[in-house]
RNA sequence: GGCCCGUUCGUCUAGGGGUUAGGACGCCAGAUUUUCAUUCUGGAAACACGGGUUCGAUUCCCGUACGGGCUACCA
């Protein structure tokens, strides 16, 4: 079938967007764009009890930040609107009823209490062919009883009737052939008592209605795949069923298991794409964005968790990823998240991103620190000098604050023990030569500095470090003469004088 | 417990019947940077185990072990 490639990301708006979720979006997006297809955002808000206000907007903001914008969404609309399952509620019942009519599903009247009692009484209880006759449903009750119950408005659900002794086999794009014995799959609820579909019904109906061609989701969905596949068949849509791809999971760095928000809190790294403030508790969970990650680095590190292009290349732009992505090269095994490597990707991206493109991030940091009105050319020069020393964008202030205000503290331990009157004299002379200097640039200044040191019989190394401490405050930063050149003649003089007063008092 | 999925350096991975099993992060050492970082060079570091198949298996098959996922009127 030469149908158009259409994929979807279908999150449940229950909280912050997990990095695994973003990777699922990314693989969806890359696959779609690689094939000139469409990427749909569908909100799966069928569980009203878990709905969290703001979560949907948050998800959209995350996608925007990552540059993975959908072609159709609740906000954008599209030919298959609405894209929010709660707004599609009336559509689902007819399909559930059709399944009942065709004998593929049935009404069940068991209360939650009854179900719990059953689960406690029978170890490994499964609502399936073995026990469904013992439950209260349209398979065990007489047609009249069923009719009466429904007419009385007794709450009920619709369950799929899993067949006996069948094998459901399908071809997963990542795992090849996977099979399930239907005897071991339970009669999943399709329509809840509140009239909302469960994920199982909704995903099939909406994927069909929205003409989804390829369905990507996490490996945790593999066990329910047979239910979905049977539903496609029972609804008569088998020929239109999307191709499935169950993505490997992202695992916690230590030990094993799916990476969770808790692991991030525990180990000190973000798990959500952006800051997430829980509206109920007010708890703030840090995100990659606020921690100082570039979106390019974020998606780059995510794509490498489970995919590679077969070469040694590790740094990819979105366009390169789109061009090179192929589902055949997605690995089967889960990948442990490594924050050290994540930071490396960020450092690489900060280094390779042009100053103009990251300037706004730094302006924001300056704002936060009360620095305003910095001249653009000056800022650009500072960024150019500092860029390759930042692993996170947020390292900028610590690395560059001295370019915008005088240091508050000085690393006296680095100079005091070896301080001499000769050094005081040297710096006094140095400053006195400044006004007459024909030009103010790093190389001329360096020559002047060295000549004077030689003249005074001082070793260069003995005065370089103090000079740095005077200008910067500590043992860090770019080349000293670059710093002096940039902050200017006046400022350099004043910092030297100020420091001389301090150390000689 | 049952079902399903998985298993190459610590981590992300390439590879694939005959290779010195390659790269990257991290780590260690050295060079450069008269600070620190960057950069460069070098180093340690892996095919889970047992049976097959084969002249030959890390690679193919089967088991075992280990790990993970699922087992809700959650997604």
In angstroms, the CA A59 to CA A21 distance is 10
* Percentage with pLDDT > 90 across chain A: 94
Residue A67 per-residue DSSP state: T
CATH number for A428: 1.10.10.350
- Summarised one tens digit per residue, pLDDT across range A493-502 is 999 999 999 9
Q: What is the rounded radius of gyration, in angstroms, for the C-alpha atoms of chain A?
A: 32
Do the domain assignments include residue A78?
no
The answer to whether some atom of strand B lies closer than 7 Å to the beta carbon of A248 is: yes
Q: Which residues pair with A8 in a beta bridge?
A: A40
- Distance from residue A325's CA to nucleotide B19's C1', rounded to whole Å: 28
Residues 6+ apart with CB under 8 A from A110: A118, A135, A136, A137
pLDDT digits (tens, 9 = 90+) for A337-362: 999 999 999 999 999 999 999 999 99
Q: Percentage of chain A with pLDDT > 70?
A: 100
Beta bridge partners of A168: A180
Same domain, A64 and A16: yes
Pair (A119, A242) in one structural domain: yes
Domain ends where: A247, A278, A312?
A247
Nucleic strand B contact set for A 393-422 (CB, < 7 Å): none
Nearest to A503 by CA among A415, A405, A408, A407: A415
A346 located within any domain: no
The answer on A380 and A330 residing in a single domain is no
Q: What is the mean pLDDT of residues A43-59?
A: 95
Q: How far apart are CA A198 and CA A252, in angstroms?
A: 29
CB A330 within 8 A of CB A246: no
The Å distance, CA of A218 to C1' of B10, is: 26
Q: What is the mean pLDDT of residues A296-304?
A: 98
Quote the pLDDT of residue A337. Answer: 97
CATH number at residue A172: 3.90.800.10
Based on the fold, state whether residues A382 and A429 are members of the same structural domain: no
Residues A279 and A182 in one domain: no
Distance A428 CA to B73 C1' (A): 82
- In whole angstroms, give the CA distance from residue A339 to residue A250: 12
**β partners of residue A245:** A216
A96 touches strand B (CB under 7 A): no
Are both A112 and A22 inside the same structural domain? no
Q: Alpha-carbon distance A252 to A262, whole Å?
A: 10
Please give the pLDDT value at position A411. 93
- Give residue numbers, 120 to 149 of A, with CB < 7 Å from strand B: 124, 126-127
Domain span at residue A283 reads: 6-73+249-339
Which nucleotides on strand B sit less than 7 A from a protein beta carbon?
A: 1-8, 10-15, 22-26, 33-38, 67-75
Q: How many CA atoms lie within 13 A of A110 on its CB side?
A: 23
Straight-line distance from CA A170 to C1' B3, in Å? Answer: 16
Domain end, chosen from A218, A247, A276, is at A247
CATH number for the domain spanning A320: value is 3.40.50.620
Task: Say yes or no to pLDDT of A2 above 70.
Answer: no
- Asked whether residue A180, judged by its CB, lies under 7 Å from any atom of the DNA or RNA strand B, the reply is yes
Tell me the per-residue pLDDT of A214-263, one tens digit each, with 9 for 90 and over. Answer: 999 999 999 999 999 999 999 999 999 999 999 999 999 987 799 999 99
pLDDT at position A256 = 79
Q: Is A79 a member of any domain?
A: no
Nearest protein residue to the C1' atom of B74, measured from CA: A47
Protein-nucleic contacts, chain A 1-60 to strand B, CB < 7 Å: 10-12, 44, 46-47, 50
Using the structure block, give the residue that is written with the tokens 């707004």.
A87
A38-41 vs A6-9, strand pairing mode: parallel
On whether both A191 and A102 belong to a single domain, the answer is yes
* Annotated binding residues of A for ATP: 261
Cα–Cα distance, A35 to A154 (Å, whole number)? 49
> Is A261 one of the catalytic residues?
yes
How many Cβ atoms from other residues are within 10 Å of residue A89's Cβ? 16
CA distances in angstroms from A157 to A24, A86, A97, A371, listed in the order given: 31, 17, 11, 61
Asked if residue A349 belongs to a domain, the reply is: no
Choose the weakest-confidence range: A41-45, A63-67, A461-465. Answer: A461-465
Query: Which residues of A spanning 293-332 put their CB closer than 7 angstroms to strand B?
Result: 304-306, 308, 310, 312, 314, 329, 331-332
Nucleotide nearest to A251 (CA to C1'): B68
Tokens of A269: 């790294």
Within this chain, do residues A193 and A264 fall inside the same structural domain, yes or no? no
Distance A465 CA to B54 C1' (A): 69
pLDDT recorded at residue A504: 85
Residue A386: give its domain's CATH number: 1.10.8
Nearest DNA or RNA nucleotide to A194 (CA to C1'): B73
Average pLDDT across chain A, whole number: 95
* A200 has a pLDDT exceeding 70: yes
Q: How many domains does chain A have?
A: 4
Same domain? A91 vs A164 = yes
Q: How far apart are CA A434 and CA A447, in angstroms?
A: 13
Residues A294 and A181 in one domain: no
User: What is the distance between the alpha carbons of residues A254 and A194, in angstroms, rounded to a whole number?
Assistant: 41
Lookup: nucleotide whose C1' is closest to A253 CA? B11
**Residue that is last in its domain, among A229, A247, A265:** A247
Convert the pLDDT of each residue in A80-114 to its tens digit: 999 999 999 999 999 999 999 999 999 999 999 99
Q: What angle do CA A459, A460, A465 make, to 5 degrees?
A: 115
Q: The complex's ipTM?
A: 0.95
Q: Is the pLDDT of residue A317 over 60?
A: yes
* Sheet-wide strand order for A105-108: A105-108, A157-160, A189-191
Per-residue pLDDT tens digits for A425-474 = 999 999 999 998 889 999 999 999 999 999 999 999 999 999 999 999 99
Strand B closer than 7 A to residue A262 Cβ:
no
Say if A81 falls within a structural domain.
no
CA distance A212 to A226: 18
A342 CA to B24 C1' in angstroms comes to 12
- pLDDT, average across residues A275-300: 95
Query: Do A169 and A275 fall into the same domain?
Result: no
Strand B atom within 7 Å of A184 CB: yes
Q: Give me the pLDDT at residue A1, please.
A: 47
User: Looking at the C1' of nucleotide B75, which residue has the nearest alpha carbon?
Assistant: A12
- The residues near A157 (Cβ < 8 Å, ≥ 6 apart) are A107, A108, A189, A190, A191, A192, A193
Say whether A328 sits in a helix, a strand or coil. helix
Q: Is the CB of A450 under 7 A from strand B?
A: yes
CB of residue A195 closer than 7 A to nucleic acid strand B?
Answer: no
User: Averaged over A265-276, what is the pLDDT?
Assistant: 95
Catalytic pick among A261, A352, A456, A489: A261
Alpha carbon distances (Å) from A246 to A222, A423, A493: 7, 69, 64
- pLDDT (average), residues A370-375: 92
Is A142 in the same domain as A221?
yes
């Amino acid at each position: 079938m030469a149908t158009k490639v259409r994929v979807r990301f279908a999150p449940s708006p229950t909280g912050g967007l997990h990095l695994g979720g973003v990777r699922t979006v990314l693989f969806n997006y890359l696959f779609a764009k690689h094939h000139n297809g469409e990427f749909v955002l569908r909100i799966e808000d069928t569980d009203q009890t878990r709905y969290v206000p703001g979560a949907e907007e948050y998800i959209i903001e995350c996608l925007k930040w990552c540059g993975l914008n959908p072609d159709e969404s609740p906000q954008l609309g599209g030919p298959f609107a609405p894209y929010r399952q709660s707004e599609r509620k009336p559509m689902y019942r007819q399909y559930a009823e059709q399944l009942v009519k065709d004998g593929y599903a049935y009404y069940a009247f068991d209360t939650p209490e009854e179900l719990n009692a059953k689960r406690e009484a029978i170890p490994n209880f499964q609502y399936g062919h073995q026990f469904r006759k013992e439950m209260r449903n349209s398979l065990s009750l007489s047609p009249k009883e069923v009719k009466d119950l429904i007419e009385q408005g007794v709450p009920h659900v619709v369950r799929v009737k899993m067949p006996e002794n069948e094998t459901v086999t399908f071809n997963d794009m990542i795992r090849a052939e996977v099979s399930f014995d239907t005897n071991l799959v339970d009669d999943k609820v399709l329509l809840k008592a509140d009239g909302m579909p469960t994920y199982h019904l909704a995903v099939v109906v909406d994927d069909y209605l929205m003409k989804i061609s390829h369905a990507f989701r996490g490996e945790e969905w593999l066990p329910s795949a047979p239910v979905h596949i049977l539903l496609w068949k029972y609804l008569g849509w088998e020929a239109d069923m999307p191709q499935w791809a169950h993505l490997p999971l992202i695992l916690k760095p230590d030990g094993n298991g799916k990476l969770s928000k808790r692991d991030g809190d525990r180990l000190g790294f973000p798990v959500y794409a952006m800051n997430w403030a829980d509206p109920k508790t007010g708890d703030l969970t840090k995100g990659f964005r606020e921690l100082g990650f570039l979106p390019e680095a974020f998606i780059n590190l995510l794509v490498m968790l489970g995919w590679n292009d077969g070469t040694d290349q590790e740094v990819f732009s979105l366009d390169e990823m789109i061009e090179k992505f192929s589902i055949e090269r997605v690995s089967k095994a889960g990948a442990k998240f490594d924050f050290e490597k994540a930071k490396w990707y960020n450092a690489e991206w900060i280094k390779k991103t042009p100053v103009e493109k990251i300037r706004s991030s730094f302006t924001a940091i300056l704002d936060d620190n009360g620095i305003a009105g910095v001249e653009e050319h000056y800022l650009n020069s500072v960024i150019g000098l500092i860029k390759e020393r930042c692993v996170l964008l947020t390292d900028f202030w610590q690395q560059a604050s001295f370019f915008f205000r005088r240091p508050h503290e000085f690393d006296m331990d680095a100079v005091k023990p070896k301080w001499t009157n000769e050094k005081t004299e040297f710096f006094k002379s140095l400053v006195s030569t400044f006004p007459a200097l024909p030009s103010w640039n790093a190389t001329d200044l360096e020559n002047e500095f060295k000549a004077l040191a030689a003249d005074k019989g001082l070793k260069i190394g003995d005065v370089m470090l103090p000079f740095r401490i005077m200008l910067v405050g500590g043992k860090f930063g770019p080349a000293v003469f670059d710093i002096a050149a940039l902050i200017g003649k006046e400022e350099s003089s004043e910092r030297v004088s100020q420091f001389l007063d301090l150390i000689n008092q």
